[in-house]
């Protein structure tokens, strides 16, 4: 799964800087960043942070959205509160089937740029957090779905998103060993060419095969990982810059994590 992320201001500006869109950078900094919870050195999806996403409708300029998808058909606040902790992630294999995701999968896909994500390794009844990032240290382009919900009590528009996940690759299979899950999971990570496919506005029936392939094939984005300080409980130090710094656990030294840095 993907419940914990790092999303710096630099990562959120990645696309605009890559496109050399100086006007977009200025507008993002002035108008959008103040509406977000950035910078996020560590945030759990269960806190529903606000950050930037790029959508099919606005592929070159982001919108602010909250993590935890609220489908447009939700009828009231109570239903929203009941649902949004369950829609932080969307399994790629079933996004075209699940009621919460299928409409968004067809025409409301999005990308969120993050520095990396955190996952926990289980060992002898303890959990050890890892920070996973691109080997290049460039921001990761994560596949997402979004929706807009109109709050019937306030008539306000609430934008939200979910991170699409897939089967974990070789690296994640060594880290993400939660015994309660049927296998390791990880976000769907997109290459630049795949970003274009994911945000394509072409007829859904024509693009579904490409999307299915993207969701089922292992990502070619190279990753590395290291252990970090605790992200839960009394030892958690909060949303501070050093939270993703490496921390060594002697009890893990005997485990062969292979390519993990």
For 185-244, write each residue's pLDDT tens digit. Answer: 899 999 999 999 999 877 777 778 888 888 888 788 999 999 999 999 999 999 999 999
| Domain assignment of residue 102, yes or no | yes
CATH code for the domain of 9: 3.90.1680.10
With 0-12 / 13-18 / 19 or more C-beta atoms within 10 angstroms meaning exposed / middle / buried, residue 162 is buried
| Domain assignment of residue 147, yes or no | yes
Q: Which domain holds residue 196?
A: 4-252
Quote the distance between the C-alpha of residue 141 and its chain's center: 9
Distance CA 152, CA 97 (A): 27
| Domain assignment of residue 257, yes or no | no
Q: Which residues make Cβ contacts (< 8 Å) with residue 148, sequence separation at least 6?
A: 72, 157, 158, 159
| Domain assignment of residue 123, yes or no | yes
Whether residue 39 has pLDDT greater than 90: yes
| Domain assignment of residue 259, yes or no | no
Q: Which residues make Cβ contacts (< 8 Å) with residue 164, sequence separation at least 6?
A: 89, 90, 91, 92, 95, 142, 143, 144, 145, 187, 188, 215
- Across the strands, what pairs with 114? 140
| Domain assignment of residue 224, yes or no | yes
For 116-166, write each residue's pLDDT tens digit. Answer: 999 999 998 899 999 999 999 999 999 999 999 999 989 999 999 999 999
- Per-residue confidence band for 261, with pLDDT thresholds at 50, 70 and 90: very low
Distance CA 166, CA 39 (A): 26
Question: What total number of domains does the chain contain?
Answer: 1
72 versus 207: the higher-pLDDT residue is 72
| Domain assignment of residue 260, yes or no | no
- Per-residue confidence band for 13, with pLDDT thresholds at 50, 70 and 90: very high
- Per-residue confidence band for 179, with pLDDT thresholds at 50, 70 and 90: confident
How is residue 65 written in tokens?
Answer: 């959205």
Share of the chain above pLDDT 70, in %: 97
| Domain assignment of residue 261, yes or no | no
């Amino acid at each position: 799964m993907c419940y914990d992320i790092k999303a710096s201001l630099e990562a959120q500006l990645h696309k605009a800087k890559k496109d050399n869109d100086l006007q977009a950078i200025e507008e993002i900094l002035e108008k959008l960043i103040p509406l977000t919870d950035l910078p996020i050195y560590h945030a759990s999806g269960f806190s529903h942070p606000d950050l930037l996403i790029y959508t099919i409708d606005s592929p070159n300029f982001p919108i602010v959205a909250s993590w935890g998808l609220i489908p447009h058909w939700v009828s009231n606040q109570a239903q929203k509160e009941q649902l949004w902790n369950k829609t932080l992630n969307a399994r790629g294999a079933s996004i075209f089937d699940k009621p919460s995701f299928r409409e968004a999968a067809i025409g409301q896909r999005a990308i969120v740029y993050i520095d990396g994500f955190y996952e926990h390794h289980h060992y002898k009844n303890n959990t050890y957090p890892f920070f996973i990032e691109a080997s290049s240290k460039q921001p990761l382009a994560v596949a997402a779905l979004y929706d807009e919900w109109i709050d019937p009590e306030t008539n306000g528009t609430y934008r939200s998103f979910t991170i699409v996940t897939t089967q974990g690759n070789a690296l994640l299979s060594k880290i993400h060993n939660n015994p309660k899950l049927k296998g390791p999971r990880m976000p769907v990570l997109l290459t630049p060419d795949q970003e274009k496919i994911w945000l394509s506005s072409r007829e859904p029936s024509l693009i579904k095969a490409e999307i299915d392939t993207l969701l089922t094939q292992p990502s070619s984005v190279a990753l590395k990982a290291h252990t970090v300080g605790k992200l839960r409980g009394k030892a958690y130090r909060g949303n501070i810059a050093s939270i993703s710094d490496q921390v060594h656990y002697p009890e893990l030294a005997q485990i062969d994590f292979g390519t993990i840095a």
